Structure 1
Amino acid sequence: MKTGAKICMVSLLATTAAAAELPAPLAYECLRAAAPIHIDGKLDDPAWQQAPWTSDFVDIEGDSKPRPKFRTRVKMLWDDQYLYIAAELEEPDVKATLTERDSVIFKDNDFEVFIKPLPETASYYEFEINALNTGWDLFLPKPYNQDGQPDNSWDIAGLKTAIAVQGTLNRSSDKDHGWTVEIAYPLSAFANRQSVLQPRDGSTWRINFSRVEWTAGKPNEDNWVWSPQGVIDMHVPERWGYLHFSSRTAAKKK
Structure 2
Amino acid sequence: MTKTGWAVLLGAGLGVVMSATAGVSAPLSYPCLRASAPIHIDGKPDDAAWRNAPWTADFVDIEGDSKPRPKYRTRVKMLWDDQYLYIAAELEEPDVKATLTQHDSVIFKDNDFEVFIRPLPDTDSYYEFEINALNTGWDLFLPKPYNQDGQPDNSWDIQGLKSAIAVQGTLNKSTDKDRGWTVEIAYPLSAFASRQAVPKPRDGTTWRINFSRVEWTSGQPNEDNWVWSPQGVIDMHVPERWGFLHFLEQTTTQKN
| TM-score for the superposition, normalised by structure 1 | 0.92
Q: Alpha-carbon deviations, 1:201-247, whole Å to 9, x = none?
A: 00000000000000000000000000000000000000000000000
Partners of 2:255 and 2:241 lie apart in 1 by 33
Give the C-alpha shift of residue 252 in structure 1.
2.1
1:33 aligns with 35
Q: 1:76 aligns with which of 75, 78, 87?
A: 78
Partners of 1:168 and 1:53 lie apart in 2 by 25
User: Do the aligned residues in 2 keep the contact of 1:19 with 1:229 (CA within 8 Å)?
Assistant: no
Q: 2:179 aligns with which of 177, 180, 188?
A: 177
| TM-score for the superposition, normalised by structure 2 | 0.91
User: Do the aligned residues in 2 keep the contact of 1:30 with 1:78 (CA within 8 Å)?
Assistant: yes
Root-mean-square deviation over aligned CA pairs? 1.0
Q: 1:92 aligns with which of 94, 97, 102?
A: 94
Partners of 1:50 and 1:164 lie apart in 2 by 21
Partner of 2:247: helix, strand, or coil? strand
Q: 2:220 aligns with which of 218, 221, 229?
A: 218
1:149 aligns with 151
Which runs of 5 or more residues in structure 1 are unaligned? 1-17
1:207 aligns with 209
Give the C-alpha shift of residue 98 in structure 1.
0.1
Runs of 4 or more consecutive aligned structure 1 residues displaced over 2 Å after TM superposition: none
Give the C-alpha shift of residue 19 in structure 1.
6.4
Partners of 1:170 and 1:232 lie apart in 2 by 28
Partners of 1:223 and 1:23 lie apart in 2 by 17
2:133 aligns with 131
1:227 aligns with 229
Partners of 2:208 and 2:224 lie apart in 1 by 23
User: Do the aligned residues in 1 keep the contact of 2:40 with 2:47 (CA within 8 Å)?
Assistant: yes
Partner letter of residue 76 of structure 1? M
Partners of 1:49 and 1:253 lie apart in 2 by 8
Q: How many equivalent residue pairs?
A: 237
% identical aligned pairs: 84
Partners of 1:127 and 1:189 lie apart in 2 by 12
CA 1:204/1:118 → structure 2, altered by over 3 Å: closer, same or farther?
Answer: same
Partner letter of residue 93 of structure 1? D
User: Do the aligned residues in 2 keep the contact of 1:59 with 1:228 (CA within 8 Å)?
Assistant: yes
1:238 aligns with 240
